[in-house]
Amino acid sequence: ALVKRSADVALMGPPPPPKRIKRPSTVLDEDTYTKALSHIIARDFFPGLQETEAQQEYLDALESKDGAWIAEAGQTLTQAMTPGPDGRRYRGRRGTSMAPMMAAAHATPRDWTADTPRTVAESVEEPEKAQHVDLSLSLSAFQAKYTSEDNESFNALLDKQNNKRAENYAWAWNENKILAPRQIAYRERQAKLEASRAESQLQVYEDTRPAMPEHKVSAPRNALMFIPDSIEDSQVTVSQAAEARSNAPPKAVLHDNTRMPIAAPVEPPIPPSPSMSAIDAAIAGRPRPTHSEAGYIGSETPRVAGYAFVDAEPTSAELAAKHGYDPSSLLSQIAADASPSPFKINEVSTREALHHRLVDKHKQSTRPVEDARSPIPRFLSGAKKKPGSLTPAAQRLLGEIG
């Protein structure tokens, strides 16, 4: 008859698989990840960098003498130098919809170099599908959501190493219990004996009750380093539920609060009452039509029920011709607006300057003494020997020499 093997003599089973560390869910290629990370760092930590890049692009456009590029670079520089509602001069504020700063495949190159012409056409590969990257996130949120291919490969190797370590040190995941070699050998021997006599042994009554009463297994883990086992990832905590019910925005670190806001230029308000020139024109019979009247501008489209037609969006060349981008005016504006760098090295304090003066004075006072010393090295003389300590032959030789 078959006999069920007792649980206390059973061999130790495989350790449970360790919990996988939470990793970023979206994997990007190296170029996309690096460019997006550089854009977010420049936006949050170096807001004046984009304006400097726009100025450099405008100077390159002037050097190339390309009218379309000059108009486009001038418009970009004007937008970069225009302060926003908070007085800061940079674009790409957080919370706006932005695309990755990557050149399209059909865009005209702006550099001065060109590839060597080829006589044989290479195989044209199908372009890969562009990956959509949300650049409106903060630096920590972006790194929590996206990762690069190299980081994902390293995380896979790290998980493999963690699984191997869990197999080698199974006692750490098995209630912190280590079996002695004698216990392991005894259990193996008992298993072999039971397997050999399982057919000939009669079924006997065995008490399957555990020797110890049932109790909660103690897991000796520090609550500071390990999360409680009773709380799963799907369990919503009290703080998470309160944050979900609240209408306040999620907590975040605002890097804008670490900078002093730039005062926006104050424009004089338009007086609500008509000016003296408008009153004189009305008395003389030359009334000035307002914005709501049809005769305000002779070139505007006719109105229907007081509403005008929507005009077409002007192109970059039309904007350049309308605003009249003058390279000299923009260059003078760049030179006049060159604000000093906020980072500077403090001047030497009065205390440190006094310290340097005292040290120099002490060196000057001690230099002549050091120069007057003899450059000949001095050697320590040997111990003076008394005549009484010499041998008789040495004493006679010393007496003859005098």
pLDDT band at 174 (very low <50, low <70, confident <90, very high): low
Q: Tell me the helix, strand and coil percentages in the chain, rounded to 5.
A: 40, 0, 55
Is the pLDDT at 93 greater than 70? The verdict is no
pLDDT band at 125 (very low <50, low <70, confident <90, very high): very low
Q: What is the pLDDT of residue 390?
A: 79
Q: For residues 362-389, give the mean pLDDT.
A: 65
Q: What is the pLDDT of residue 37?
A: 92
pLDDT band at 119 (very low <50, low <70, confident <90, very high): very low
Contact between residue 398 and residue 388 where contact means Cβ atoms under 8 Å apart: no
pLDDT, one tens digit per residue, over 291-302 is: 555 555 555 666
Q: What is the pLDDT of residue 213?
A: 84
Position with higher pLDDT, 209 vs 199: 209
Position with higher pLDDT, 168 vs 320: 168
SS3 280: helix
Is the pLDDT at 211 greater than 60? The verdict is yes
SS3 259: coil
pLDDT band at 176 (very low <50, low <70, confident <90, very high): low
Q: What is the pLDDT of residue 384?
A: 61
Q: What is the pLDDT of residue 150?
A: 92
Q: What is the pLDDT of residue 273?
A: 66
Q: What is the pLDDT of residue 190?
A: 81
Q: What is the pLDDT of residue 219?
A: 72
Q: What is the pLDDT of residue 136?
A: 87
Which of 3-7, 11-15, 122-126 shows the lowest per-residue confidence on average (mean pLDDT)?
Answer: 122-126
Q: What is the pLDDT of residue 226?
A: 77
Q: What is the pLDDT of residue 17?
A: 60
Q: What is the pLDDT of residue 95?
A: 41
What is the torsional sign of CA 65, 68, 70, 71? positive
- Which one-letter DSSP state was computed for residue 379? -
Supply 193's token pair.
Answer: 């004996």
67 contacts: CB under 8 Å, gap ≥ 6: 317, 320
Q: What is the pLDDT of residue 284?
A: 81
pLDDT band at 274 (very low <50, low <70, confident <90, very high): low
Which string of b and e fits 4-22 if b means at least 16 CB within 10 Å? eeeeeeeeeeebeeeeeee
Q: What is the pLDDT of residue 147?
A: 93
| CB < 8 Å & 24+ apart, contacts of 80-85 | 80/50, 80/51, 80/54, 81/51, 81/54, 81/333, 81/334, 81/337, 83/262, 83/264, 83/265, 85/264
Q: What is the pLDDT of residue 175?
A: 66
Most trustworthy range by pLDDT among 70-84, 172-186, 310-324: 70-84
- Euclidean distance between the first and final Cα of the chain, in Å? 121
**Domain boundaries, given as residue ranges, for the chain:** 27-81+133-147, 149-201
pLDDT band at 257 (very low <50, low <70, confident <90, very high): confident
pLDDT band at 123 (very low <50, low <70, confident <90, very high): very low
pLDDT, one tens digit per residue, over 325-373 is: 666 666 666 666 556 666 677 888 899 999 999 999 988 888 765 555 5
d(Cα 126, Cα 131) in Å, to the nearest integer? 15
d(Cα 43, Cα 80) in Å, to the nearest integer? 12
Beta bridge partners of 304: 307
Cβ atoms < 10 Å from Cβ of 314: 11
Which of 7-16, 150-159, 236-245, 351-360 shows the lowest per-residue confidence on average (mean pLDDT)?
Answer: 7-16
d(Cα 192, Cα 198) in Å, to the nearest integer? 10
Position with higher pLDDT, 215 vs 179: 215
Q: For residues 36-50, give the mean pLDDT.
A: 85
d(Cα 395, Cα 401) in Å, to the nearest integer? 10
d(Cα 240, Cα 246) in Å, to the nearest integer? 10
Residue 336: its H or E element: helix 327-336
Maximum C-alpha span of the chain: 147
Beta bridge partners of 146: 26
pLDDT band at 32 (very low <50, low <70, confident <90, very high): very high
Is the pLDDT at 189 greater than 70? The verdict is yes
pLDDT band at 115 (very low <50, low <70, confident <90, very high): very low
